[in-house]
Amino acid sequence: MGDTRTIVVTGATGRQGGATARRLLADGHRVRALVRGHGSPAATALEAEGAELVVGDLDDPGSLETAFAGAQGVFIVPPMAYASGGADNDLEFRRGGAAIDAAVAAGVEQAVFTGLGSFSGGVAEQVGGKQRVERHLWASGLTATVLRPVRFMTNFLGTGVGVDDVADGVSRHVFPADEPVQLIALEDIAEFAAMAFADPDRFAGRTLELAGDAPTPNEAFGAINAATGLDLRYEPLSAAEAGALGPEVAEARRLWLAGHRWHADIEALRALHPGLRTFRDWLAEGGAALLRAALARAV
């Protein structure tokens, strides 16, 4: 790997940011975890593992100056934002843009932004905030890499929004039961981020669509049941059910049924990262235990 550097990680107490912070620490980088406060269990755990906690808020750009001062890199994952009508893309863009602008102002050299896997045919599953952040990043002058992960394997733990949550032994989503759906492990997003920070010249200007496996929902639940001893099954949402869960869910279902798909080149990604996890790998490495625990809490 390259020289170790100081890297600011936004969203450090979340799933992607936390996984990336830990991976960068393992590589010997000095990690500054951007947090709103020191008291959360996730923040405390990161500090115990060697991260420096720096208080800042993407909704308060003035609070970012200290966090970014003297850093050489930044990992940007703005939190999802919601309003009464669904996703608040303007707020998501302001948050991502604030991180980019703070990095530029501080003289940071490199940024890795993690957004959202795009759909084939030039259609994004979620149009708006993340795409605007990408454009702002490319225009910023930073040495930049964009990661576009598809559906997280951890989504099987439940999302709390009506998709992927298990009720009476059944999980629901927009996908037909017998069609492949690309998935990615959080740890592999972190691996690609670490690769970009380790070799900025190689990854500068690149956009990577990220996936590690593509089981059908029926295959995924077969693997879950085999690994956990549970008896779960999958059913696709109807148009009315998807619509009741919100416009983003309804639009995702419409696009999928119209033939649009995530399109990560898994074999090419595996050539870059030979340890790229399959869904069964993720289950064996702890996913199965997490699923059992999540379902036990839900009962």
Break the chain into its structural domains and give their ranges.
6-298
The Cα–Cα gap between 89 and 133 comes to 10
Question: What would the pLDDT profile of 134-185 be if each residue is shown by its tens digit?
Answer: 999 999 999 999 999 999 999 999 888 889 999 999 999 999 999 999 999 9
pLDDT at residue 84 above 70?
no
CA distances from 1 to 70, 202, 242 (A): 21, 12, 45
SS3 at position 153: helix
Q: Which residue has the higher pLDDT, 149 or 120?
A: 149
The full DSSP string for 34-70 is: EES-S-SHHHHHHHHTTPEEEE-BTTBGGGGHHHHTT
Question: What would the pLDDT profile of 126-138 be if each residue is shown by its tens digit?
Answer: 457 889 999 999 9
Look at the pTM and tell me if it is higher than 0.75.
yes
Q: Which residues contact 25 (CB under 8 A, 6 or more apart)?
A: 31, 49, 50, 51
| pLDDT level of residue 298 (50, 70, 90 thresholds) | low
pLDDT given for residue 292 in this prediction: 93
Closest C-alpha to 260, from 272, 271, 251 = 251
pLDDT given for residue 295 in this prediction: 86
* 153 touches 184 (CB < 8 A): yes
Question: What would the pLDDT profile of 235-260 be if each residue is shown by its tens digit?
Answer: 999 999 999 998 889 989 999 999 99
pLDDT given for residue 126 in this prediction: 47
pLDDT at residue 2 above 70?
no
Range scoring the smallest mean pLDDT among 57-61, 65-69, 81-85, 286-290: 81-85
Handedness of CA 244, 245, 247, 251 (dihedral sign): negative
The Cα–Cα gap between 201 and 145 comes to 10
* 22 touches 31 (CB < 8 A): no
Question: What would the pLDDT profile of 177-215 be if each residue is shown by its tens digit?
Answer: 999 999 999 999 999 999 999 999 999 999 999 999 999
Burial class (CB in 10 A: 0-12, 13-18, 19+), 297: exposed
Given CATH 3.40.710.10, say whether it is the number of domain 6-298: no
